Amino acid sequence: MKFLDQCKIFIRSGDGGGGAVSFRREKFIEYGGPDGGDGGRGGDVWIEAVDGLNTLIDYRYHQHFKAGTGGHGMGRNRTGAGGADAILRVPVGTQVFEEDQETLIADLDQAGMRVRLAAGGNGGFGNAYFKGPINQAPKRANPGLPGIESWIWLRLKLIADVGLVGLPNAGKSTFLAAVSAATPKIADYPFTTLVPNLGVVDLSTNERFVIADVPGLIEGASEGAGLGTRFLGHLERTAVLIHLIDATGPHLTKTWRTIRRELEAYGDGLDEKAELIALNKVDALDKDARAKAARAIKRASGQKPFLISAVSGEGVRDLLRAAHAKVRERDAPAPVDDGTLESWRP
């Protein structure tokens, strides 16, 4: 299935049905009068987050969504049928923006969330609504109100707990395949990963989290170099970033600073997220080379890096447990201070 995380679509709610002009005429029944019913309400346009979807590709080929028109009122005070709703089913994590791509309408970050994007028009009143002691035989009825139409943008931000960042060929896809059941494409050339990949990590029965791998960043990504930073939005919901660095490459501190600069240039709080630095491919280094690389990264970043090998599994479990601890820290309920402790006296 092709991955698509942004699209523009047109929505229109249904018009309300018109009211009816009708008079009661039945043999042997006196006191006839107006009995025109009201029009039915137009259908609404809804958007709903559902499980089982991870792309917006369906909305590339179907871009116009219109709800049904309400039925017209009829005689004998019969109200017209309501128009059918139009329901847009999208992956969990989808955001809805107005046409300016800046005004947020809804953020569907939980399965089952349902938001009405456009309300259908009300049905018009039939002539029975206007009868009274002064006007006992009204010959007027209201038309239904028109529906609402607009262009909107859908933007998908995958729901993940942990994000992987790093230069191309840092081993992010290999790491994802090693720690989860995901099967990303793995090759020895840069930019093998072209779209984000998700995997579920199972450390134990009660230790599970979702990890996301995005295409690698290079220097100048915030200005459009390489694949740019368009996929970094999928990391905005994460609790922690795992920064993978190829321990066999040159200029390790420069590599770390390059990614940090791109995260800062992107903004949206990515540069403020908790970060775990991991030197990957240490199985190719001897003891002295490992220590030298770790010292260089610690001097630059201020934290001790994890020494791992996604191929052999060395150090991977310790890194995953540290990441899960950050996820638990984010998900822990905030303490509630009701003042009882301060007011208590022995």
271 HSE (CA, 13 A, CB side): 14
* Angle value at C-alpha 224, between 220 and 226, nearest 5 degrees: 75
The structure tokens listed for 254 are: 């420069």
| pLDDT of amino acid 203 | 87
The structure tokens listed for 135 are: 């006007």
Q: Which fold has domain 1-156?
A: Spo0b-associated Gtp-binding Protein; Chain: A, (2.70.210)
Other Cβ atoms closer than 10 A to 313: 12
The CATH-assigned architecture of domain 162-331 is 3-Layer(aba) Sandwich (3.40)
* Angle value at C-alpha 177, between 175 and 183, nearest 5 degrees: 145
| pLDDT of amino acid 181 | 87
| pLDDT of amino acid 338 | 56
Other Cβ atoms closer than 10 A to 127: 25
Report CA torsion sign: 127, 128, 132, 136.
Answer: positive
**Quick check: 245 and 297 in contact, CB under 8 A?**
yes
Distance CA 226, CA 244 (A): 18
The strand pair at 149-156 and 240-246 is best described as: unpaired
In whole angstroms, what separates CA 246 from the centre of its chain? 31
**Quick check: 210 and 159 in contact, CB under 8 A?**
yes
| pLDDT of amino acid 84 | 97
Q: Do domains 1-156 and 162-331 have the same CATH topology?
A: no
Q: Please enumerate in sequence order all residues whose Cβ is within 8 A of that of 99, keeping only pairs 6 or more positions apart, or say none.
A: 8, 150, 151, 152, 153
Dihedrals phi, psi of 282, to nearest 5 degrees: -70, -10
Q: Which among 163, 166, 162 is positioned nearest to 259, based on CA atoms?
A: 166
**Quick check: 190 and 221 in contact, CB under 8 A?**
no
| pLDDT of amino acid 216 | 87
**Quick check: 166 and 216 in contact, CB under 8 A?**
yes
pTM: predicted TM-score of the whole model, two decimal places: 0.82
Q: Domain residue spans in the chain?
A: 1-156, 162-331
* Angle value at C-alpha 62, between 117 and 215, nearest 5 degrees: 90
Place of tokens 């009405």: 116
Look at the chain and count its residues.
346
| pLDDT of amino acid 336 | 61
**Quick check: 164 and 175 in contact, CB under 8 A?**
yes
The structure tokens listed for 50 are: 């559902």
Q: Identify the H or E element spanning 259.
A: helix 252-266
| pLDDT of amino acid 195 | 86
Per DSSP, the three-state class of 152 is strand
Instruction: List the pLDDT tens digit at each of the 346 positions of the chain.
Output: 578 889 999 999 999 999 999 998 888 777 788 999 999 999 999 999 998 888 899 998 899 999 999 999 999 999 999 999 999 999 999 999 999 999 999 999 999 999 999 999 999 999 999 999 999 899 999 999 999 999 999 999 988 999 999 998 888 999 999 999 888 888 877 788 888 888 999 988 788 899 999 988 888 887 777 777 888 888 988 999 999 999 998 889 999 999 999 999 988 888 899 999 999 999 999 999 999 999 999 999 999 999 999 999 999 999 999 999 999 988 877 666 555 545 555 5
